[in-house]
Amino acid sequence: MPRQTIYLDHNASAPLLPEARAAHIAALDLTGNPSSVHAQGRALRAVVDQARTEVAKLAGAERDQVVFTGSATEAISQAIIGGARAFRADAIVVSEGEHTAVLKAAEATGLPLKRVGLDADGLIKVEEIASAIADADRVGMRLLVAVHLVNNETGVIQPVDRIETLVGPSPHFLFVDAVQAFGKMVLEFASRPPDLMAISSHKIGGGTGAAALLMKGHADQVRLIPGGGQESGRRGGTENAPAIAGFGAATVAFPDRFYRADVGTLVRAAEDGMRSMCPDLVIFGESTDRIGNVSNFAVPGVRNSLAMMGLDLAGVSVSSGSACSSGKVGTSHVLAAMGVRNDLSECALRISFGWSSTMADVEAYLKAFGEVVGRHKARRVAA
């Protein structure tokens, strides 16, 4: 086994924060069920309640707007499948750049699906949403619009404020997948127009097993899992109190640690270093606003499957940005929507930094990157 020392895949899952680990383990040692009225149950209820307050604070939400789920995928499914039902939506509007969790949930509703495109920078074509709304308004149709705030592959920050302006005052509904934005951008859920928003614990170092759907009061009937009335009847199933405790603790510890890691400087150093070695480097989304912690790029002619293998052997973990659950490298539907040719998309790699990242990681990464690309070029010259 290689000694993995450099972890540059925070967008897939961030390393567990020590604060989250401690909270998780402390809750594991409690006995009972947060819904029980006895002392043990009340102790677990207090853990869940505290985490709800903490998560709400970082999301700019009210406590009672936070519904804990088992994953972001579940929160998204509740928003879209449950939302389509509760809002009696006639059609769903998504962008081509959504995570598959959104695209598959939208397909699962069985409703007509309008997919709006991305431009060459990776930005959602807001004018296509405007025309979908105008078309729907003409025939009295009600839409559920589902868009992401930050793209998980490119880091591109979407013009959600413009989409809010379109959907907010209308009879239509807006769901925002804020999984890659939460903790890294100010969200202010309570005071902004989205009806529903999904956030997740493990992307900020809280560990897997907990996420949340943020729901405005009028969206209270958006349900997916019936059951024993947990989460004020909005999500059945005994709450995963240890995972939720980790989530809450991460929301307290993450922002300061993330800020101190200065990921924007790390990404810039990595991009500058790569470009000095490979002047033909293509950085996707480079000319628009991106979240500071991620870079998605390609060295033309250097296939990502080979580069990832070489980096992995050197102890550096990166992603193609489009790894499917089978672990295979696929071509990215996001880059395809941006009009990136397949032969370039097959060379796309994503590095994503986070709370534990340092400049030493960047230096070690650049050394390994230089060797991998150098080997590839030498092979091409020899061939």
Measured CA to CA, the distance from residue 198 to residue 179 in angstroms comes to 6
Residue nearer to ligand PLP on the CB measure, 152 or 304: 152
| Number of residues forming the site for ligand PLP (CB under 6 A) | 11
Is residue 215 at the binding interface for ligand PLP, with CB under 6 A as the rule? Answer: no
Distance in Å, CB of 230 to ligand PLP, minimum: 19
Is residue 73 at the binding interface for ligand PLP, with CB under 6 A as the rule? Answer: yes
Specify whether 278 is catalytic. Answer: no
Among 77, 109, 154, 200, binds ligand PLP (CB under 6 A): 200
Terminal CA-CA length for the chain: 31
Catalytic residue among 113, 134, 309, 324: 324
Q: How far is residue 72 from each of residues 58, 80, 177, 239, 366, measured CA to CA in Å?
A: 16, 12, 9, 15, 32
Distance in Å, CB of 210 to ligand PLP, minimum: 10
Is residue 101 at the binding interface for ligand PLP, with CB under 6 A as the rule? Answer: yes
| Local structure of 162: helix, strand or coil | helix
Distance in Å, CB of 298 to ligand PLP, minimum: 20
Distance in Å, CB of 148 to ligand PLP, minimum: 5
To the nearest 10°, report the CA torsion of 164, 55, 81, 232. -120
DSSP state of 229: -
To the nearest 10°, report the CA torsion of 156, 159, 160, 164. -170
List the x/- string, 166-185, binding to ligand PLP by CB under 6 A.
-----------x-xx-----
Q: Which string of DSSP letters, residue by residue, matches 47-112?
A: HHHHHHHHHHHHHT--GGGEEEES-HHHHHHIIIIIHHHHTT-SEEEEETTS-HHHHHHHHHT-S-
Among 52, 99, 172, 290, binds ligand PLP (CB under 6 A): 99
Is residue 24 at the binding interface for ligand PLP, with CB under 6 A as the rule? Answer: no
Residue nearer to ligand PLP on the CB measure, 158 or 372: 158
Is residue 304 at the binding interface for ligand PLP, with CB under 6 A as the rule? Answer: no
State the number of CA atoms in the 13 A half-sphere of 133 facing the CB.
20
Residues that bind ligand PLP (CB under 6 A): 71-73, 99, 101, 148, 152, 177, 179-180, 200
